[in-house]
Chains A and B, each alone.
Chain A
Amino acid sequence: MHSTHKNESDDPPRPESGLWGWLNRRTGVDDLLRGALYEPIPGGARFAYIFGSGLLFIFLSQIITGVFLALYYVPSADHAHTTVAYITKAVTAGSFLRGLHAYGSSAMVIVLFLHLSQTYVYGAYKGRREILWLSGCVLFGLVMAMAFTGYLLPWDQKAYFATAVGTNAVSEVPWIGESIKRLMRGGTEMGTLTISRFFVAHVFLIPACIFALLASHIFLFRKAGAAGPVDEDPYHPEQKAELFYPRQVLMDLSLTALLIVGLGLLCFFVPMQLGPPANPADAQYVPRPEWYYLPIFQWLKYWHGSAAIIGVLVVPTLLVLAILALPFLDRSVERRPWKRPIAMGAYAFVLFSLVGLGLRSQYLDRHDSGVAQQLARQRAEENEYSHKPFEPELSSASLAAANVTLADPLAAKGKTIFERQSCNACHGDGGVGTAAAPVLIGVGTKLPPDQLAELFKHPTAKMTAGGMPPIDLPPDDVKALIAYVESLK
């Protein structure tokens, strides 16, 4: 960066006195701000450069909304859907925050694509920025992994089946595909272990990687310096530089403002829907991935049998390798897109392929009347479920208690005796135990019925000391009471 025109004397004077001066002497906050804001941009500020900080803003928003959603979310096949329904339907501002998080993932993919396109079209990966490009590529993969893992977490029909298809696609990879699928799912089928795995990946593993990569991405960006316009030299910037602050900051903030307003209006007027809970037995359901995965979804349809290896492994691997190796393959210093026909042609080809595949998938769905009807039905079900009031989940303890009374009439009779004799006053309702007397759940498996009957008639010294009276009841009632105690498991 020998040719930037920045030097110490150009910077505004440093604060020496007052509160800010003291704070800076103690913390160096002014130097930090200075370092962040007075980055020179060769050729001056432009709207083309706003996408990186836009991504940073969405990432921040995803972290904050994600942490707040975790206040109510439970990652388990039993509760995930109920808790998301609770967030959406019961908790104040819950629908809005969940919307911000879910729509935020789409916004992330869009802005990420714009950021990548700008870097590519401007030839900003050239010259001194190879490793910066590499770290950006890894970040792209991590963001797509976040989108994939987050999609399952609401555990509604759409999430379940889209993830079932997504993990199935992985199993098409030769040799190791099946093992990877099982590793992702935590078993051969989708279930509660799948949610745990996706949750851990979505909340701990991938974000940790993103933090590390993002830090290195920003560090490498500052190390290499801003690329500048397309006619700037990729090794030795020569154009007059303008500092990041204030004009580029204002331009960047305009995108942030647009994102805030756009996402806010979207969440307010088109609330993110939640479909009915996942029903793995539903054979009718037609799964469709989120829009940004449609091209891959459509692409995989074309590859079956022995040709699958080409579509699933060879082509994607070559594409990924080509993208990663781009700054090493394309060594020319020419950055102007109109002088780079091959690079621009490849970009246009990939872009049109992606858009074309996505549109093709949509077209096929619309023109297959069976699929179109089923998709319409699914949308209607989703809409209907979204508008139903929230219904709390019945806790398993009360279900077990209800089942006892249904299953065995003798145990049911025992239950009424248990309550009428005030056994529950000390042993708790359902024999859960209290401070006054021990738990009765599981006692039936330790002691045979005749031994229980004996203890009822003649409690041990320890029991008597604890306040347990001998039970003096007709034999039939004792039998019922034993049946009830036996049923407490």
Chain B
Amino acid sequence: MVEDAGCSENGTLKPSDSGLSQESRRSFLGVLLGLGVLFVGALLSVPLIRFALFPLLRRTTELKNSSVGELNEFSSLTEPMMRTIQIEQVDGWRKAISEKAVYVTKDSQGQLRVLTSICPHLGCTVPWNKEKNQFTCPCHGGTFTADGTRVSGPSLRGMDSLETSVQDGQLQVRFQYFRQLVSDKEVIG
């Protein structure tokens, strides 16, 4: 071996060591080092993996709740009231704010209900027809009652209601899109 004789100040091996035991000691050290490097490498890759998998483990795109208005504004509601809400859509490090029209109305028990103005048939915006006291879709003539129940027309279901909550006296709504042309309400994003 190279280390033994001449390199006295650094030499670790005694001349009496046989070649075989040096070799086995060296390969044992090699395995130990290899395992050590693998272990430290694995440890160091933990933050890297967590960093790269962040979009898989957390929601990076989300729709924030939007405020519809003060709760007491809707206490004496007699017919659906149109409100334009601002929807904050977060997409990674950016957000987009868009506006959508919704209707605040009351169901048969008198509970507040927020309807999306998107027709469940083909997605047109449904206006409230005051004279006829019903929603009438301008595209294909679908009609709905004040609480969104289907009356007539090509739509397979009534107008879609949105998830609501009340926070600090504010009526909040979670805007969502629903699949069109099906009889069951199905969220698509």
Contacts and interface: CB of A to CB of B under 8 A. Distances in A.
Nearest to A241: B2
A12 B51 contact: no
Contact of A422 (B3, B54, B92, B138): B138
Interface stretch (A131-139, A296-304, A351-359, A387-395): A387-395
A71 B26 contact: no
Interface in A418-434: 419-422, 424-425, 429-430
Size band of the interface chain B makes with A: 35 or more
A211 B90 CA distance: 39
A111 to B, nearest CB: 18
Contacts of A85: 93
Contacts of A390: 93
B11 interface: yes
A166 interface: no
A23 to B, nearest CB: 14
Interface string B25-43: 0110110010001001000
A425 B6 contact: no
Contacts of B26: 12, 245-246
Interface in B1-49: 1-3, 5-7, 9-12, 23, 26-27, 29-30, 33, 37, 40, 44, 46-48
A21 interface: no
B52 A71 contact: yes
B49 to A, nearest CB: 9
A413 interface: no
A36 interface: no
A82 B101 contact: no
A96 interface: yes
Interface of A: 5-6, 10, 12-13, 40, 43-46, 64-65, 68, 71-72, 79, 82-83, 85-86, 90-94, 96-97, 239-243, 245-247, 249-250, 253, 257, 260, 390, 392-395, 397-398, 401-402, 416, 419-422, 424-425, 429-430
A393 B139 CA distance: 37
A195 to B, nearest CB: 16
B10 A93 contact: no
Interface string B93-121: 11111110100000000000000001100
Contact of B95 (A5, A72, A393): A393
Contact of A92 (B6, B50, B96, B127): B50
B130 interface: no
Interface string B43-74: 01011101111100110000000000000000
Contacts of A242: 2-3, 7, 10-11
Nearest to B51: A93
A79 B54 CA distance: 19
B182 interface: no
Given A44-B7, A46-B10, 8 more contacts: A12-B23, A44-B11, A68-B52, A92-B58, A93-B47, A245-B26, A390-B93, A424-B125
B181 to A, nearest CB: 14
A416 B10 CA distance: 86
B124 interface: yes
Nearest to A467: B139
